[in-house]
Structure 1
């Protein structure tokens, strides 16, 4: 992972890095690895994640086919020019 620092603006680079790490799931993985997870808990978690993914995929497919309305897009905050 790589982040460019522009005009010595380290704070902005750190924000960008945190956002990239969040998208990649690094924080979730670090939290999961901080303590032992029993095999039964791991199996239940993985099954729940699979169900969540399947529901999301079904919802997206239904939206594409017009069976359910697509969610309304939010206006960006603080971006007025």
Structure 2
């Protein structure tokens, strides 16, 4: 994994590195390796994750086809000095 430091901005580079590690699942794997997981527990966990992924994919597909309503957009309180209906993400 590689992160470029621009203009000696190490804080920004660290933020980018943490985000990349989060996306790759490094933190989740480190947490899982702290203690031993029995093979039966691993099977149960992986099966549950697969079910969760398939349900999420089916829900997204149904939303695309118009069978389910799309999720509502999040509305955030306006910051002082910002436009009244500007959503922050």
- Please report the TM-score for the alignment, with normalisation by the length of structure 2: 0.79
Give me the whole-angstrom Cα distance separating, in 2, the residues matched to 1:15 and 1:30.
Answer: 19
Deviations 1:12-59 (A, max 9, x none): 110110011101111001111121101111011001001101100100
Runs of 4+ deviating beyond 6 Å: none
Q: Alignment RMSD, CA only?
A: 1.2
Q: Which runs of 5+ in 1 are unaligned?
A: none
- Please report the TM-score for the alignment, with normalisation by the length of structure 1: 0.87
Give me the whole-angstrom Cα distance separating, in 1, the residues matched to 2:73 and 2:36.
Answer: 40
Give me the whole-angstrom Cα distance separating, in 2, the residues matched to 1:70 and 1:26.
Answer: 31
Greater share of helix residues, 1 or 2? 1
Q: How many residue pairs were aligned?
A: 77
Greater Rg, structure 1 or structure 2? 2
1:33-52 matches, within 5 Å, as: 33-52=33-52
Q: Which runs of 5+ in 2 are unaligned?
A: 75-86
